[in-house]
């Protein structure tokens, strides 16, 4: 506990033996002394952000060990409740009931990012401006061919995320207005992670799926919804509605290294630096 | 304790060199005795200046006129012999033999009375300078307004640092004079990466939130867009010849790529399908790279089961960060894993010739201390010999490595490591509030101490930011 000692300037002078010590030196705790282990699990959409933050945080706090994994949002608060993770990364506020999932009692939600979600299609798809009604029809299986929504004559391949995905929860709620997904069929497949979705859309002709905007690559097309492009600017100006907050869930209020890590992710430095670079939107940008 | 105090006083006395001594008489009747007027070397805004001083009752007083001239203030004497000094927005009035001064219309007290000798007024320099808004530290006077705060800093050259601070919705980067603290804005940005300095010290580079790459000529402060490529770029690193910038590409930092400064062309250096690389290091000739990789624990979860069952398991076995190395001469896109141990790893430094990687290793045990470890590019580990202290930070300065380590009860230490021989040398001790060490290529030291940037100069740390 020596690092937490209060030291007077006089004591510093005496111990260090310098003839000059900055006169304004207050007492402080150097960040590098923080230690502990943080286990994070949950949303695959938030994983790049979490690992970027972990890389930066460890340079400030080399004795803090951080492990981060992703198997879908719902596994985040589940792992926290089970006591095998300190932080559950999730694409909705899991301390409240949402359609399909009950709240996780005793967990505290910490906003860490705004996540825009995009409907994405394989590069060979020409229908790149869809209405909410088009999307509802496609993802429910009622619209089966691209020519029904202004595209060429080709069967639509629907790629969906598995149950428990936060991206799925947000897309169903905000892009489909809560309507149901199709659940089976020759032209339907489910994938577990955002990375799997990216691979599926890039490599499957006539495919449509959805993902957070950060995952969109130049090997796919992010479609306009109701004439509005999925851009950061359109999220901030309120025109594009398909977005949600990313949260870190903790069992009660966090302490120690976990608390400091969440503070770092929420800091202006990270929010307006690395977080933006990774195509997320700072939480302060939404008024 | 007594001995250390005495030493400190001796050091101060030694620092104030006296070049001339002239006897004179005090102008008051009560003090009508010989007073020695000396000429003492001060530093005013880092420039050496000779200022007349006297010692009165054991207290060193300095000439008001000499200080006034040195800092560019104005002085006049009223008919009632009140000395009036104007500097910036401040007006200070003082009188001989009085401990009361008037600053901007308000009376305040100084601890030792001003004294007039040979028609010159002398005053405690610290009280005088601070009243006028400057700072005073051991016969060093500064009237430069300092930058508020310092979150990150790098040396730009021997006389300047680049200091970064969060500002509003973004960040501001300043060029700060290492001697005086005088600063000027270099870049105000939102979503930009940290600035990285070119090997010749003439440019900095950064990528913006859209992935576009820019350079800034430090002499003109003019930015120039190098590339319009919008891929996510992490951890820009200059090549030694300044012709290109290496970076980790993509949201998962999967690819090592580089952009050519001349034409903005982006090319892949390594595409080994390994995600979440970090701490990219590049050899001087640009042919070898090293990095560590964050591996994700294996998560088992059955989404078909009731959520309330919490049917989720996390297996973190073998997922500690590991160091990888790649020599582009191999041209096979297969990086080599150099480490396999369970320790955490941070602060990678690749030697200029690419033969050795040094890093701080922290064992799996919560009580583990940081150790400096080096490993050659074939994977043979060795630990350089140095005082066995908890390592907080590793930085490279020229051909040497420098460590910020734990030390005494309230101090940290700075060690220099000869990376060729592994021998270590204690450079100095610092306050344990030191959170970051910044070393230039020619071994100039700066440090973030309690959130202020301090530079090691003339044997002491001098704050150059507030």
ipTM for this model: 0.80
Cα–Cα dist B72/B94, whole Å = 18
Interface test with A, best of B214, B299, B322 (most A CBs within 10 A): B299
Instruction: Return the pLDDT at A100.
Output: 82
Question: Mutation test of the interface with chain B: which of A69, A115, A286, choosing the one with the most B Cβ atoms within 10 A?
Answer: A69
pLDDT at A187: 94
pLDDT at residue number A15? 32
Query: Are A35-114+244-285 and A116-236 the same fold in CATH?
Result: yes
- When the candidates are 3.40.50.11740, 3.40.190.10, 3.50.50.60, 2.40.50.140, the CATH number that belongs to A35-114+244-285 is 3.40.190.10
Per-domain boundaries in chain A: 35-114+244-285, 116-236
Q: Is A81 on the interface with B (CB under 8 A)?
A: yes
* B55 pLDDT higher than 50: yes
Q: What percent of chain B has pLDDT over 70?
A: 91
Burial B157-185 (b: 16+ CB within 10 A, else e): beebbbbbbbbeebbbbbbbbbbbbbbee
Substitution target from B191, B207, B254 for chain A, most A beta carbons within 10 A: B191
CA-based nearest residue to B132, from B102, B155, B162 = B102
B234 CB within 8 Å of a chain A CB: yes
Share of chain A above pLDDT 70, in %: 89
Structure tokens at A93: 């506020």
pLDDT digits (tens, 9 = 90+) for B257-303: 999 999 999 999 999 999 999 999 999 999 999 999 999 999 999 87
Q: Is B3 on the interface with A (CB under 8 A)?
A: no
Q: Is the pLDDT of residue A9 over 60?
A: no
Element (H, E) at A195: helix A194-203
**Model pLDDT, residue B272:** 96
Contact of A219 with chain B, judged by CB distance below 8 Å, is answered with no
Cβ distance A19 to B11 less than 8 Å, yes or no, reads yes
Task: Give A31 to chain B, closest Cα distance, Å.
Answer: 6
With a cut of 90, say whether residue B423 has pLDDT above it. Answer: no
Q: What is the pLDDT of residues B58-111, one digit of tens each?
A: 999 999 999 999 999 999 999 999 999 999 999 999 999 999 999 999 999 999
> Would you tell me which residues 201-230 of chain B have a C-beta closer than 8 angstroms to some C-beta of chain A?
207, 209, 211
Residues of A in contact with B310 (CB under 8 A): 78-79, 81-82
Q: Kindly identify which residue of chain B lies nearest to residue A6, measuring between CA atoms.
A: B410
Q: Which of A16, A37, A70 has the CB atom closest to B411's CB atom?
A: A16
Residues with Cβ within 8 Å of B309's Cβ and at least 6 positions away in sequence, in order, are: none
**Inter-chain residue contact A69 with B296, CB threshold 8 Å:** yes
**Chain A 116-175, CB below 8 Å of chain B: which residues?**
162-164
Tokens of B32: 């009508």
Element (H, E) at A79: helix A75-82
Residue B431 touches chain A, beta carbons under 8 Å:
yes
8 Å CB contact of A72 and B303: yes
Residue B189 CB burial class (10 angstroms; 0-12, 13-18, ≥19):
buried
Question: In chain A, positions 227-256, which contact chain B (CB-CB < 8 Å)?
Answer: none
What is chain B's length?
A: 466
Note whether B433 contacts A41, CB cutoff 8 Å.
no
pLDDT of B190 reads 87
Residue-level pLDDT at A92: 93
Q: What are the residues whose beta carbons fall under 8 Å from the beta carbon of B121, sequence distance 6 or more? A: B63, B64, B65, B83, B94, B96, B114, B115
CATH level 2 (architecture), domain B17-142: 2-Layer Sandwich (3.30)
Q: B190: which DSSP letter?
A: S
- For chain B positions 84-123, those within 8 Å of chain A (CB to CB) are none
Residue B191's pLDDT is: 86
> Is the pLDDT at A32 greater than 80, yes or no?
no
What pLDDT is recorded for position A195?
Answer: 86
Please tell me if residue A103 touches chain B, with a CB cutoff of 8 Å: no
Residue pair B338/B377 in contact by the 8 Å Cβ criterion: yes
Whether the per-residue pLDDT at B11 is higher than 60: the answer is no
Closest C-alpha among A7, A152, A232, A57 to residue B409: A7
Q: Which of B15, B344, B392 lies at the smallest CB-CB distance from A32? A: B392
Cβ neighbours, 10 Å, residue B23 = 9
pLDDT in tens, A230-243: 999 999 999 999 99
Rounded to the nearest angstrom, the minimum Cα separation between B346 and chain A is 7
In chain B, domain spans: 17-142
Task: State whether residue B465 is helix, strand or coil.
Answer: strand
Q: How far apart are CA A16 and CA B91, in angstroms?
A: 38
Report pLDDT digits (tens) over B300-342.
998 788 999 999 999 998 888 999 999 999 999 999 999 999 8
| Pairwise CB contact (< 8 Å): B209 & A277 | yes
What are the strands, taking DSSP E only, across chain A? 35-42, 63-70, 87-90, 107-122, 129-130, 157-161, 188-191, 207-212, 220-222, 224-225, 243-251
Q: What angle do CA A93, A101, A276 make, to 5 degrees?
A: 30
Query: Residue written as tokens 């979440």?
Result: B276
Q: Answer yes or no: is pLDDT of A7 > 70.
A: no
**According to the model, what pLDDT value does residue B16 have?**
40
Sequence length of chain A is: 287
Interface check for B385 against chain A (CB to CB < 8 A): the answer is: no
Query: What integer best gives the mean pLDDT of chain B?
Result: 89
**Region B15-38: what's the mean pLDDT?**
60
Please check the confidence at residue B419 and state whether its pLDDT lies above 50. Answer: yes
- Distance between CA atoms of residues B449 and B454, nearest Å: 7
Strands B233-238 and B47-56: unpaired
Contact of A287 with chain B, judged by CB distance below 8 Å, is answered with no
Nearest CB to B4 within list A17, A52, A81: A17
pLDDT of residue B384: 61
Helix, strand or coil, per DSSP, at residue A15:
helix
Q: Which residue of A has its CA nearest to B457?
A: A20
Shortest Cα–Cα distance, B2 to chain A (Å): 9
Burial class (CB in 10 A: 0-12, 13-18, 19+), B228: exposed
Nearest-Cα distance to chain A for B314, in Å, is: 7
Q: What are the C-alpha distances in Å from B163 to residues B146, B154, B186, B432?
A: 12, 7, 9, 21
Q: Cβ of B462 under 8 Å from any chain A Cβ? A: yes
- Are B399 and B441 in contact by the 8 Å Cβ rule? The answer is no
DSSP element (H, E) containing B356:
strand B356-362
| B142 part of contact set with chain A, CB < 8 Å | no
- Find, among B60, B71, B59, B66, the residue nearest to B83 by Cα: B66
What's the pLDDT score for residue B29?
Answer: 47
Is B148 near chain A, with CB under 8 Å?
Answer: no
The Cα B147–Cα B235 span in angstroms is 27
**Closest residue in chain A to residue B3, using alpha carbons only:** A14
CB contact at 8 A, B8 and B1: no
Q: What are phi and psi of B439, to 5 degrees?
A: -125, 135
Distance of residue A70 Cα from the nearest chain B Cα, in angstroms: 7
Q: Which of residues 353-372 of B touch A (CB under 8 A)?
A: 360, 362, 364, 366, 368, 370
pLDDT tens across A160-188, in order? 999 888 899 999 999 999 999 998 999 99
Task: Give how far Cα B439 sits from Cα of A76, A236, B424, Å.
Answer: 41, 41, 16
Please, how many CA atoms are within 13 Å of residue A36, restricted to the half-sphere of its CB? 14
Alpha-helix runs per DSSP H in B53-183: 64-71, 125-131
Q: Could you read off the pLDDT of A34-90 as tens digits, one per residue?
A: 889 999 999 988 999 999 999 999 989 988 999 999 998 999 999 999 999 999 999
- What 3-state DSSP class applies to B173? strand
- With a cut of 80, say whether residue A1 has pLDDT above it: no
- CB-based contacts of A43, cutoff 8 Å, min separation 6: A70, A72, A73, A76, A89, A90, A91, A166, A167, A246
pLDDT, tens digit (0-9, with 9 covering 90-100), for B225-244: 999 998 899 999 999 999 99
Q: pLDDT per residue over A193-216, tens digit each? A: 888 999 999 999 999 999 988 888
Question: pLDDT over 90 for what percent of chain B?
Answer: 70
Residue A17 confidence (pLDDT) above 80: no
CB B63 within 8 A of CB B49: no
pLDDT at B93: 97
Provide CATH code, domain A116-236: 3.40.190.10
Distances (CA, A) of B83 to B87, B118, B265: 13, 15, 67
In tens, the pLDDT along B373-417 reads 989 998 887 666 565 788 999 999 988 999 999 887 789 999 999
Q: Could you tell me the pTM of the whole model? A: 0.81
- CB nearest to A268's CB, from B135, B166, B300: B166
Establish, for the pair of chains A and B, how many residue pairs have beta carbons separated by less than 8 Å: 209
The backbone torsions φ and ψ at residue B225, rounded to the nearest 5 degrees and listed phi first, read -80, 130
Tell me the chain B residues in contact with residue A78 when contact means C-beta distances shorter than 8 Å.
301, 307, 310-312
Q: What is the pLDDT of residues B117-170, one digit of tens each?
A: 989 999 999 999 999 989 898 888 999 989 998 999 999 999 999 999 998 888
């Amino acid at each position: 506990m020596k690092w937490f000692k209060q030291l007077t300037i006089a004591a510093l002078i005496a111990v260090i033996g310098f003839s000059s010590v900055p006169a304004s030196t207050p007492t402080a705790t150097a960040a590098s002394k923080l230690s502990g282990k943080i286990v994070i699990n949950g949303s695959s959409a938030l994983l790049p952000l979490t690992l970027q933050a972990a890389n930066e945080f460890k340079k400030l706090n080399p004795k803090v060990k951080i492990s981060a994994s992703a198997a879908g949002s719902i596994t985040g608060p589940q792992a926290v409740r089970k006591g095998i993770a300190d932080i559950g990364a999730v694409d909705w506020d899991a301390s409240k009931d949402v359609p399909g999932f009950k709240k996780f009692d005793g967990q505290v939600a910490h906003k860490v990012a705004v996540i825009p979600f995009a409907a994405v299609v394989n590069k060979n798809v020409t229908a790149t401006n869809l209405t909410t009604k088009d999307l509802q029809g496609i993802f429910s299986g009622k619209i089966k061919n691209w020519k029904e929504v202004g595209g060429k004559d080709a069967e639509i391949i629907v790629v969906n995320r598995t149950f428990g995905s936060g991206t799925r929860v947000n897309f169903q709620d905000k892009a489909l207005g809560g309507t149901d997904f199709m659940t089976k069929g020759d032209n339907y497949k489910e994938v577990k992670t955002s990375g799997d979705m990216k691979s599926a859309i890039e490599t499957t002709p006539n495919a449509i799926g959805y993902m957070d905007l950060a995952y969109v690559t130049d090997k796919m097309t992010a479609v306009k919804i109701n004439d509005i492009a999925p851009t950061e600017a359109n999220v901030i100006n309120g025109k594009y509605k398909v977005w949600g907050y990313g949260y870190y869930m903790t069992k009660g209020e966090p302490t120690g290294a976990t608390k400091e890590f969440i503070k770092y992710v929420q800091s202006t430095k990270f929010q307006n630096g690395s977080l933006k670079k990774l195509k997320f939107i700072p939480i302060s940008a939404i008024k | 304790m007594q001995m250390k105090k005495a030493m400190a006083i001796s050091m101060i006395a030694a620092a104030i060199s006296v070049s001339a001594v002239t006897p004179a008489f005090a102008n008051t009747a009560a003090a009508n005795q010989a007073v020695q007027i000396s000429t003492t070397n001060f530093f005013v805004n880092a420039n050496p200046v000779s200022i007349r001083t006297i010692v009165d009752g054991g207290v060193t007083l300095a000439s008001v006129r000499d200080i006034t001239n040195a800092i560019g203030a104005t002085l006049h004497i009223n008919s009632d012999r009140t000395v009036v000094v104007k500097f910036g927005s401040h007006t200070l009035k003082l009188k001989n033999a009085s401990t009361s001064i008037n600053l901007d219309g308000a009376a305040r007290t100084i601890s030792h009375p001003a004294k007039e000798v040979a028609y010159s007024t002398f005053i405690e320099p610290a009280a005088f300078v601070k009243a006028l808004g400057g700072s005073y530290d051991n016969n060093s006077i500064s009237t430069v307004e300092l930058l508020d705060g310092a979150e990150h800093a790098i040396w730009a050259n021997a006389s300047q640092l680049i200091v970064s601070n969060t500002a509003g919705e973004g960040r501001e980067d300043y060029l700060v004079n290492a001697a005086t603290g005088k600063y000027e804005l270099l870049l105000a940005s939102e979503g930009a990466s940290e600035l990285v300095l070119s090997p010749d010290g003439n440019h900095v580079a950064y990528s913006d939130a859209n992935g576009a790459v820019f350079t800034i000529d430090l002499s003109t402060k003019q930015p120039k867009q190098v590339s319009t490529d919008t891929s996510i770029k992490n951890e820009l690193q200059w090549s030694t010849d300044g012709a290109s910038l290496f970076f980790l590409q993509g949201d998962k930092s999967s690819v090592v790529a580089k952009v050519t400064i001349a034409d903005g062309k982006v090319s892949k250096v390594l595409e080994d399908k390994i995600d979440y690389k970090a701490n990219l290091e590049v050899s001087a000739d640009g042919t070898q790279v090293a990095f560590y990789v964050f591996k994700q624990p294996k998560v088992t979860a059955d989404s078909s089961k009731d959520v309330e069952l919490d049917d989720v398991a996390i297996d973190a076995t073998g997922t500690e960060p590991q160091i990888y190395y790649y020599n582009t001469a191999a041209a096979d896109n297969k990086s080599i894993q150099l480490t396999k141990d369970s320790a955490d790893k941070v602060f990678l430094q690749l030697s200029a010739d690419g033969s050795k990687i040094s890093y701080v290793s922290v064992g799996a045990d919560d009580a583990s201390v940081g150790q400096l470890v080096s490993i050659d590019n074939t994977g043979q580990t060795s630990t350089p010999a140095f005082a066995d202290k908890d390592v907080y930070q590793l930085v490279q300065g020229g051909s040497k490595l420098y460590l910020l380590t734990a030390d005494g009860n309230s101090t940290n230490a700075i060690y220099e490591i000869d990376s060729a021989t592994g021998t270590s040398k204690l450079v100095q001790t610092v306050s344990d509030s030191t959170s970051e060490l910044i070393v230039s290529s020619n071994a100039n030291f700066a440090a973030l101490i309690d959130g202020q940037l301090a530079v090691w100069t003339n044997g002491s740390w001098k704050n150059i930011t507030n």
